[in-house]
Amino acid sequence: MMPKHPQVGDVVVYHDENGGAHNALVTAYWGDPTTDAYIGCLNLVFISTDDSRRDQYGRQIERFTSISHKSAQHTHGFYWRWSDEEPNGYTPPTSV
């Protein structure tokens, strides 16, 4: 069975650089829906978690581009996943 490929307007979970999860909306997707893998990336927006980022319209949005699926990103951040998928675990750096 082919995986569901994201469409504009779908809700996904975005993991930021610290691994924090955010509900996000897909604004664009580059991928091949005829494959069984999430090859490609997407653009998304989400509501800022920074309470100081407000204007007359409410809390501001944050926009990220070229975000890969969790299966292509083996770290704890900078990826998207479906809400029913487990997040990537934390892997410490091998060299600092």
96 belongs to a structural domain: no
> What pLDDT digit, counting tens, does each position of 30-39 carry?
988 888 888 7
Please check whether residue 26 is in contact with residue 7, taking contact to mean a CB–CB distance below 8 angstroms. yes
18 belongs to a structural domain: yes
What's the number of domains the chain is made of? 1
58 belongs to a structural domain: yes
- Assign 94 a pLDDT band (cuts: 50, 70, 90): confident
57 belongs to a structural domain: yes
Q: Specify the pLDDT at position 55.
A: 92
* Burial class of residue 52, CB neighbours in 10 A (0-12, 13-18, 19+): exposed
Higher pLDDT, 3 or 66: 66
The whole domain housing 33 covers 11-81
> What pLDDT digit, counting tens, does each position of 45-85 carry?
999 999 999 999 999 999 999 999 999 988 899 999 999 99
41, β-bridge pairs? 30
Quick one: three-class SS letters along 64-83?
EEEEEEHHHCCCCCCEEECC
Q: Specify the pLDDT at position 39.
A: 79
41 belongs to a structural domain: yes
